């Protein structure tokens, strides 16, 4: 991550594969205020410069440089710099990677585990993450070396998942599945209300209570997650936009930037190569 001569940070994004299948490393610096969104993966990372404030279902928190941040799959959260900008270094884990690690840790079968602390300040745990990040990305490392660093970190961070209150409207779950299964389709509020068997107002309120997002925001999330997967697979951006439900390329560009803080082209360049890392063009923070 480049720095200005004045001590400021340059806005940048880079992503690279790691020695662990299903694990991606991301380094970024941004002044972007991320709206509420969610990831399909587990995320563990460290703030490397500045500070960030964020909200999730686990509460409002602030993380300073040198502190860990975590997020669970599907957990709605946002993020903003405390001052002008902040930088962070993340590892994103496919759920099956964590599931295998949980089995290796000898967790009781059927007990779901999750990352319960959104910010971790315990220095030994921060050092465990640093050792894993190095072993997962360094050219001198190996998959076995990375795996040996992964398990101690997860043993320190994973706890039994907290039970969420049951949803009292099964139609809302059907609506959620409908949006996930067909994000490219046009879904009107009237249609969604019919699926739920509720009024439009009850649908809006109930769905936001269930997911933390409005139906429109949740649909955009589903579309953009599919778009990122297609971009990582090397598909053309114009084809990606149409495939996930954006007929207007400029609209897709605006929504992608608002959600992720970089352009679709910048994300594509960052994902080039199976082992390499290509940074998005630096911009002023």
- Do 156 and 175 sit in the same domain of this protein? no
Residues 6+ apart with CB under 8 A from 273: 16, 17
Per the domain annotation, does 231 fall within a domain? yes
Per the domain annotation, does 122 fall within a domain? yes
- Do 203 and 87 sit in the same domain of this protein? no
Per the domain annotation, does 107 fall within a domain? yes
- Do 121 and 238 sit in the same domain of this protein? no
- Do 15 and 128 sit in the same domain of this protein? yes
User: What pLDDT, in 10s, does the model give residues 64-118?
Assistant: 999 999 999 988 899 999 988 899 999 999 999 998 888 887 766 566 788 888 9
- Do 17 and 154 sit in the same domain of this protein? yes
Q: Which of 115, 137, 160 is the last residue of a domain?
A: 160
- Do 188 and 61 sit in the same domain of this protein? no
Task: Supply the range of the domain harboring residue 237.
Answer: 170-247
Please report, for the domain that includes residue 100, its CATH number.
2.60.120.10
The predicted pLDDT at position 274 comes to 37
Q: Taking 60 as the threshold, does the pLDDT of residue 6 lie above it? A: no
The predicted pLDDT at position 217 comes to 87
**Percentage above 90 pLDDT, the chain:** 43
Per the domain annotation, does 190 fall within a domain? yes
Q: Taking 70 as the threshold, does the pLDDT of residue 275 lie above it? A: no
CA–CA dist 155, 172 (Å, integer)? 35
Q: Taking 60 as the threshold, does the pLDDT of residue 3 lie above it? A: no
Confidence band of 233 (pLDDT split at 50, 70, 90): confident
- Do 135 and 185 sit in the same domain of this protein? no
Query: How large is the average pLDDT for residues 8-13?
Result: 76
Per the domain annotation, does 263 fall within a domain? no
Q: Which of 142, 160, 178 is the last residue of a domain?
A: 160
Per the domain annotation, does 130 fall within a domain? yes
Q: Taking 90 as the threshold, does the pLDDT of residue 11 lie above it? A: no
Q: Taking 50 as the threshold, does the pLDDT of residue 1 lie above it? A: no
The predicted pLDDT at position 273 comes to 46
- Do 125 and 179 sit in the same domain of this protein? no
Confidence band of 281 (pLDDT split at 50, 70, 90): very low
- Do 93 and 216 sit in the same domain of this protein? no
What's the number of domains the chain is made of?
A: 2
Please report, for the domain that includes residue 205, its CATH number.
1.10.10.60
User: What pLDDT, in 10s, does the model give residues 78-92?
Assistant: 999 998 889 999 999
Per the domain annotation, does 285 fall within a domain? no
Q: What is the mean pLDDT of the chain?
A: 84
* 123 or 268, greater pLDDT: 123
Query: How large is the average pLDDT for residues 125-138?
Result: 95
- Do 154 and 194 sit in the same domain of this protein? no
Residues 6+ apart with CB under 8 A from 4: 10
- Do 53 and 143 sit in the same domain of this protein? yes
The predicted pLDDT at position 63 comes to 95
The predicted pLDDT at position 107 comes to 65
CA atoms within 13 A on the CB side of 119: 19
- Do 153 and 202 sit in the same domain of this protein? no
* 124 or 166, greater pLDDT: 124
Length of the chain: 285
User: What pLDDT, in 10s, does the model give residues 158-192?
Assistant: 887 665 555 557 889 999 999 999 999 989 888 99
The predicted pLDDT at position 282 comes to 38
């Amino acid at each position: 991550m480049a720095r200005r001569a004045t001590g400021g940070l340059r806005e940048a994004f880079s992503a690279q594969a790691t020695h662990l299948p299903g694990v991606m490393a991301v380094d970024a610096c941004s002044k972007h205020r991320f709206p509420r969104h969610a990831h399909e993966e587990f995320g563990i990372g460290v703030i490397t410069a500045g500070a960030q404030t964020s909200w999730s279902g686990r509460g409002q928190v602030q993380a300073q440089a040198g502190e860990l941040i975590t997020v669970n799959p599907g957990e709605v959260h946002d993020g903003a710099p405390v001052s002008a900008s902040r930088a962070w270094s993340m590892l994103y884990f496919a759920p099956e990677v964590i599931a295998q690690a949980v089995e290796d840790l000898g967790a009781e079968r059927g007990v779901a585990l999750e990352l319960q602390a959104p910010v971790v300040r315990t220095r030994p745990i921060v050092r465990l993450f640093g050792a894993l990040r190095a072993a997962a990305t360094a050219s001198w490392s190996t998959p076995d070396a990375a795996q040996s660093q992964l398990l101690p970190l997860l043993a320190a961070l994973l706890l039994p998942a907290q039970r969420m209150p049951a949803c009292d409207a099964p139609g809302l779950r059907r609506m959620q599945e409908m949006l996930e299964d067909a994000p490219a389709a046009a879904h009107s509020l009237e249609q969604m209300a019919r699926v739920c068997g509720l009024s439009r107002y009850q649908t809006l309120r109930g769905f936001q209570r269930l997911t933390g997002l409005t139906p429109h925001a949740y649909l955009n999330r589903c579309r953009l997650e599919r778009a990122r997967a297609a971009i990582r697979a090397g598909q053309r951006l114009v084809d990606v936009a149409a495939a996930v439900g954006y007929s207007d390329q400029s609209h897709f560009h605006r929504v992608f930037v608002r959600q992720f803080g970089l352009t679709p082209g910048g994300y594509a360049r960052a994902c080039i190569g199976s082992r390499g890392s290509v940074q998005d063009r630096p911009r002023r923070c």
